[in-house]
Amino acid sequence: MRTARKSRKKRCARHPYTAVRVKGFARVQIVNTKTGEIVGDSGYVQNVITAAGKQDYIVGALGALAGSKPLLRLALSTQTLDPVSSDTSFTANSEFGGRKALTASFSSPGTLVMTASWAGADLGAQAPKTIRCIGVFNTTNTDATFAGAATYATSQWSSDQAVNATYSWQFS
């Protein structure tokens, strides 16, 4: 005679669930526009996904729920504190020419790559500026942060340089 416990184990073995893990990594490079030389490279740094990011960008988008948001913009920031899951915005991201439209592509099965670039002219009269964080957003101004990463402890960007950013998302 079978017990309910044994029966549950068999059902679980026949129908296992699959956990989906998401990891995000950001990289910011500062490039001398005259020589093409990379003068600053954050390397790939792991991000943190915010609570609003999980709700509005992942769960909401997966279910096509009202208020869900696609990822459309990358932003740089002078924010001095590392991003945390309770963040809803970044400070001072307008100082870098605002949030830039991103280009999205797949680099391998399960990996989404988003890129954006800023020209030295985006700094305007505010050059040089210290880049400290990068974030992923939906719109150009007021929506909540999906995710963010600390990039450099201190790295100056001046008007004779460009910035290239890459955000990679690995789903496993």
Pairwise CA distance, residues 76 & 91, whole Å: 9
Pairwise CA distance, residues 148 & 98, whole Å: 15
Write down the pTM of the prediction. 0.79
Res. 2 pLDDT band, cuts 50 70 90: low
Give 34-45 pLDDT, tens digit per residue. 999 999 999 999
> What does the pLDDT read at residue 62?
75
Q: Measured between alpha carbons, how far is residue 119 from residues 38, 78, 123, 125 in Å?
A: 14, 17, 8, 13
Give 58-104 pLDDT, tens digit per residue. 777 778 778 777 888 888 888 777 777 777 667 656 667 778 899 99
> What does the pLDDT read at residue 32?
94
Pairwise CA distance, residues 13 & 126, whole Å: 60
